[in-house]
């Protein structure tokens, strides 16, 4: 299925030659490369770009975008291809700018606890690079995404409850705007009150306002003591209530992740773990020895009161790595449950006081739907996902999955929440933008119109057609 049949931009031979004059051999019009660059990890239909270029510098990206602007050709930035809402589909064709070769860590400023990276550096690569500095970068979506891509989707992950999301951890950006201008937003100062917050405008803009080429990030000190645990519960309700009470008690927990019994089963199979197939929390405590002890005791009491079982501890670094690797691979584990199936990943986020109701009603909907949809969640933030497994050839399955997601999103919005906690809008959530933001969507359109009047930057994403 290819959405890009209508109203494609005209990418001429001359245009390709002009591109080649900028990037040389780092260009492909091959079907498989284009196909791969127009799809993500999910059921969203692929829409290949006309051409893929592999950029190596901000200046090069600027020249490419200027060329596209002059020819009115769409630009779709590409990082690791791990997004989940159809962000990469080249709906009107155009140029996919692959930034994966811009993968240099430009400078580590340990004294200021910040780092400057090119947009193609991945989160794992960055943390490997920081090895031995005593510092780490906490934001960790499941996939090994690029930091540019994580800026684009305003990503978060398991550490957000303690360390914040990309929103809280980006200090400054280099961005190529829709006309090819290079703009530097923000600074390495920890705070500033000078003018409009262009950094935060770009974080979460999904390539629709510009191409992020360089990112300055906050780093955090690795805690003196770290311990992680897995704790199974008799009921999903008990697990969720333990999370809510932990947050409401103000425990500075580093990670508190929920997996329902279906997700535990899938993860056991994929990651060769042997956790009891029950609703389960994965926990991590960071701090001084004394602080970790205090936090642990408090959370153990809370879990006990809510029907939690025995804590299975991972103290050693390697054990913890294995535990969190299993959590990070949840989406891949689910895909492996039914080979050939595609996934639709939902992304509800509600105020924590609404989490139990929202999650339990949603679980009831899943059970009634008869669909296979493991639940996993960054529940400390009020955020959880269903991974709905779909036969992509079965239109009925897609319809039923949409209905399940739609029902959940209506619930979430009524509760004052958001239809995407961390994955972004892409094409998948566009239909809910008016419901969530009302008149705010008109303001977003005014900004898009002002900064990308030709609508060449990742067109067809975030803002629904009128």
Nearer to a second copy, 10 or 443 (CB): 443
Instruction: Compute the distance between CA of residue 358 and CA of residue 386 in angstroms, rounded to an integer.
Output: 12
> Which CB sits closer to a second copy, 225 or 337?
225
Cα dihedral sign for 99, 102, 103, 105? negative
State which residue, 237 or 391, has the beta carbon closest to a second copy: 237
Q: Give the CA-trace dihedral at 180, 185, 187, 191, to 10 degrees.
A: 180
Task: Provide φ and ψ at 342, rounded to 5°.
Answer: -105, 170
CB of 200 to a second copy, least distance (A): 3
- Nearest distance in Å: CB 89, a second copy: 17
- CA 237 – CA 307 distance, rounded (Å): 9
Q: Residues near 117 by Cβ (< 8 Å), separated by ≥ 6?
A: 104, 105, 106, 126, 147, 214, 215, 217
Would you say 328 or 448 has its CB closer to a second copy? 448
The distance of closest approach from Cβ of residue 195 to a second copy in the complex, given in angstroms and rounded to an integer, is 5
Report the DSSP beta bridge partners of residue 175.
183, 212
Comparing CA positions, the residue from 461, 465, 466, 463 lying closest to residue 40 is 461
Least distance (Å) from a second copy to the CB of residue 425? 5
Burial of 203 (0-12, 13-18, 19+ CB in 10 A): buried
- Indicate the residue among 269 and 290 with the shorter CB distance to a second copy: 290
Q: How near is the Cβ of 183 to a second copy at its closest, in Å?
A: 5
Q: Which of 119, 138, 141 is nearest to 130 (CA)?
A: 138
Nearer to a second copy, 129 or 184 (CB): 184
Q: Measured between alpha carbons, how far is 65 from 144 in angstroms, rounded to an integer?
A: 26
Q: Tell the smallest beta-carbon distance from residue 264 to a second copy (Å).
A: 25
Closest to a second copy by CB, 65 vs 425, is 425
- Nearest CA to 160 out of 139, 174, 191 is that of 139
Nearest approach in angstroms of CB 368 to a second copy is 26
């Amino acid at each position: 299925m290819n959405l890009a049949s209508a109203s494609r931009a005209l990418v001429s031979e001359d245009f390709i030659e002009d591109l080649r004059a900028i990037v040389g051999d780092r260009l492909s019009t091959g079907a498989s490369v284009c196909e791969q660059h127009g799809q993500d990890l999910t059921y969203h239909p692929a829409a290949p770009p006309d051409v893929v270029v592999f950029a190596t510098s901000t200046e090069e990206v600027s020249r490419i975008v200027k060329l596209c602007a002059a020819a009115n050709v769409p630009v779709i930035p590409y990082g690791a291809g791990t997004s989940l809402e159809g962000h990469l589909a080249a709906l009107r064709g155009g140029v996919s700018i692959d930034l994966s070769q811009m993968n240099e860590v430009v400078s580590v400023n340990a004294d200021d606890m910040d780092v400057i990276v090119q947009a193609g550096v991945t989160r794992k690569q960055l943390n490997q690079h920081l090895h031995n500095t005593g510092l780490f970068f906490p934001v960790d979506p499941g996939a090994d995404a690029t930091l540019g891509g994580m800026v684009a989707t305003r990503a978060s992950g398991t550490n957000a409850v303690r360390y914040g999301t990309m929103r809280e951890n980006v200090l400054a950006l280099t961005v190529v705007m829709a006309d090819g201008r290079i703009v530097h937003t923000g600074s390495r100062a920890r705070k500033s009150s000078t003018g409009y917050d262009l950094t935060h405008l770009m974080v979460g803009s999904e390539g629709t306002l510009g191409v992020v080429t360089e990112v300055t990030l906050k780093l955090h000190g690795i805690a003196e003591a770290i311990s992680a645990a897995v704790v199974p519960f008799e009921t999903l309700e008990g697990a969720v209530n333990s999370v809510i009470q932990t947050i409401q008690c103000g425990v500075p927990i580093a990670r508190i992740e929920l997996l329902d019994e279906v997700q535990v089963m899938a993860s056991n199979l994929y990651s060769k773990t042997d956790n009891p197939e029950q609703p389960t929390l994965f926990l991590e405590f960071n701090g001084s020895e004394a602080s970790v002890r205090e936090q642990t005791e408090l959370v153990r009491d809370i879990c006990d009161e809510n029907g939690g079982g025995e804590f299975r501890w991972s103290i050693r670094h390697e054990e913890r790595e294995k535990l969190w690797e299993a959590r990070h691979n949840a989406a891949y584990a689910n895909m492996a449950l039914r080979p050939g199936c595609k996934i639709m990943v939902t992304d509800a986020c509600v105020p924590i006081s609404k989490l139990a109701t929202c999650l339990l009603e949603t679980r009831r909907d899943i059970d009634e739907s008869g669909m296979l949809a493991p639940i996993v969640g960054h529940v400390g933030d009020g955020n959880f996902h269903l991974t709905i497994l779909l036969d992509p050839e079965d239109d009925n399955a897609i319809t039923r999955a949409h209905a399940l997601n739609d029902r959940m999103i209506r619930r979430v919005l009524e509760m004052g929440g958001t239809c995407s906690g961390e994955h972004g809008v892409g094409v998948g959530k566009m239909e809910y933008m008016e419901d969530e933001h009302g008149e705010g969507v008109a303001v977003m359109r005014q900004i898009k119109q002002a900064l990308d009047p030709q609508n060449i930057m990742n067109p067809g994403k975030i803002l629904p057609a009128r």
